[in-house]
Structure 1
């Protein structure tokens, strides 16, 4: 499920970089494919009172259910108590953020939240009413996600009003000069989950980070956990920090990052004010051509099998399909290939090779125009081949002044936002029940 915070990041403005649109979405390619060749009852009682605002056990349980929905799986029983504690801390911070925004006369209107709900529901092809029923069936509620949206919009607007940073022209120029001098060095597409560590709670924070890491290793969504638990402003976009060079990050993180490969997740890393878990989504060479940046024109030919077709029944068809695709005479013959196998055909222009699933990227990097991939997919979604009709190389651009300026600005705003929230916690009156 697309969590609300992704849409919020698009609406409320950028404390952190927003991922580029995926140019391969029209192909509807599965990520996990083969290459052929208990709801808890809610109890209404006060769990905490934050400057007079009540957080109930129902609030905690429904937010826990929202996390389970976002993960697409039940939460292990041994994790529930720890996650409840973490969610309670998050709800306390959320209350403080909303209260601070109201103090500054920042009003998040119902219409703002409605628009975000409509976008999130549309992302899963549902109406807002259907989306509300979907959440309720999962043990959550539309109320809890509306509250989360309100908190994130309020906090982002508060940062925009209260946090001012100054970036000098000389600082931007120095970064650009360093990048030019570093041409060919490696960049990483980095995700981060940051857990703050108040004085005296370092061991507990590290223990929580290790438990989150265990869930990530067992297949939990990094972006989902970042949205729910990270205290960095990048949480709104699933922890995505964008493309980074190690020297742009704290030394403790940079040292670990340099040894990481795409698709890997770090152990918890102590750093200033807390603990970070880093994920590397991708790598590239700075200002150097990478074939995965090439833009492709594709034709996709897909065989759809009747429901109930077994692998044994499909294999002979797929074998013939693979042989025909191997001998396809360029993109112009893709239509005949589709007709011979009663297959569907879709054309996709402007598809970035980097946006395709990693299995296809590795297969297609050495391929030439007119060639087809091996059959790819599964019996449920269909088995397809991609025929390359065109391939345009993209020369890497030097980052613009505005891009560098915005990155420096985001880093400083993020640091000050953490301090601001720390001060709000310190001054709050919180009663636990």
Structure 2
């Protein structure tokens, strides 16, 4: 969800901590050596203190956000970070998550005020789809979330917030956004004139930075970049932190040319290598983090758009074995691949080496890891890659090409495609303003 009010929360954290320390010191100084309460040694509790009772962390226009809510949503964030999070970083993330939950509550409330309700069946359907992306049944996905310190309820609440907000924008914002035919024609003309120029597939995480909070927001952006570069999921962080409407699709801006981006972002993306993440970049009203997913040339055929039908063969090795111990099995796998007689022979090969086979009949070369793309372009149908992977991961793989469809001549995007992208950009801008106004008018009681 959006990264609202984070800077203000962080700005207030230091004096709050200082006040707590000072109060504790004062309490200790005021306690005399004797016991002023004169408590008996043997006491019996006459009431029950239930630790399962959830205490409020914030009340947003009457909606209660508890510590449990924050902890469970934090579990989703930590699941996207393979590295260990320090205690200090965890506390910063809690503040961010609380801010996100406040925005989520505001979005759901505003949707309800406009008589928009999200059917439970729709939430359940989306939940099943998300679980399917993890190759888990709904029941197994619930267990997975619990293992990560989260819950099914927390995931469904996030789904409800995102769906409600998109539907609200569809009713309250999108009807009032228009792009003229002349504007679309101008963009198409520029595309025609820029044939062969670079085009970029970009992801963005946008953080608002109200006046006076720029330093705190930039510090938070620095931490996000560090987490992603250490293996965190850009898509997951965009879902959780970005204040752009594209957060619902993991921050994906699609394919854009440099001139379609703000100058500061255009300058960065033109210098970035593919599959990299930028340092935080100042833009009007906030900070952006850019991921360069891929790049190509406008209206030019790219061999990496070749669509492949593949079979993946994988074998398991002991992840605790040394390289020398695992090498004989890897060598035998490689030798068997060299003797492969087409895709019809894959099942027999897998049985021989004790491997598993997975089919994928619609994969573009550009969707493969960069290290494999050049290899795949040079393989003929029926040929396999050398084994790849790491014995430390416990899995060694190879890909067999079973079919290929060469890319067709590149064509201009349609009038409707250009118009839709321009409208999305304008809806995104108005959505930021909408949420800003909701925050400004909200009654929030922090506990």
TM-score, normalising length from structure 2?
Answer: 0.80
User: Does residue 122 of the first structure (1) align with residue 122 of the second (2)?
Assistant: no
Counterpart of 1:26 in structure 2 is none
2:198 to 148, 161, 186: 186
Mapped partners of 1:338, 1:46: distance in 2: 56
Q: Is contact 1:42-1:57 (8 Å) kept?
A: no
Counterpart of 1:134 in structure 2 is 144
How do 1:165-204 residues align onto structure 2 when only pairs under 5 Å count? 165-204=177-216
User: Does residue 147 of the first structure (1) align with residue 157 of the second (2)?
Assistant: yes
1:19-45 superposed Cα distances (whole Å, 9 cap, x missing partner)? xxxxxxxxxxxxxxxxxxxxxx98832
> 1:425/1:316 Cα in 2 relative to 1: closer, same or farther (>3 Å)?
same
2:426 to 394, 412, 425: 412
Which one has a bigger Cα radius of gyration?
Answer: 2
User: Does residue 386 of the first structure (1) align with residue 418 of the second (2)?
Assistant: no
2:365 to 335, 349, 353: 353
> 1:341/1:159 Cα in 2 relative to 1: closer, same or farther (>3 Å)?
same
1:292 to 291, 294, 304: 304
> 1:175/1:311 Cα in 2 relative to 1: closer, same or farther (>3 Å)?
same
1:116-160 superposed Cα distances (whole Å, 9 cap, x missing partner)? 222223333444344333323332222222221111111111000
Mapped partners of 2:357, 2:439: distance in 1: 57
Q: Which has the higher contact order (CA 8 A, sep 6+)?
A: 1
Question: Which deviates further from its counterpart, 164-173 or 140-149?
Answer: 140-149
Q: Is contact 1:71-1:224 (8 Å) kept?
A: no
> 1:42/1:248 Cα in 2 relative to 1: closer, same or farther (>3 Å)?
farther
1:185-224 superposed Cα distances (whole Å, 9 cap, x missing partner)? 1111111111011122111111111121222222221111
Mapped partners of 1:337, 1:120: distance in 2: 34
1:397 to 405, 408, 411: 411
> 1:65/1:349 Cα in 2 relative to 1: closer, same or farther (>3 Å)?
closer
Structure 2 gaps of 5+ residues are 2-50
Counterpart of 1:209 in structure 2 is 221
Q: Is contact 1:262-1:283 (8 Å) kept?
A: yes
TM-score, normalising length from structure 1?
Answer: 0.83
CA positional deviation for 1:347: 5.2
Structure 1 gaps of 5+ residues are 4-40
CA positional deviation for 1:239: 1.2
Counterpart of 2:330 in structure 1 is 318
Mapped partners of 2:150, 2:360: distance in 1: 38
CA positional deviation for 1:81: 1.6
Mapped partners of 2:209, 2:321: distance in 1: 53
User: Does residue 58 of the first structure (1) align with residue 71 of the second (2)?
Assistant: no
User: Does residue 111 of the first structure (1) align with residue 125 of the second (2)?
Assistant: no
Mapped partners of 1:323, 1:238: distance in 2: 41
Q: How many residues align?
A: 394
Counterpart of 2:442 in structure 1 is 428
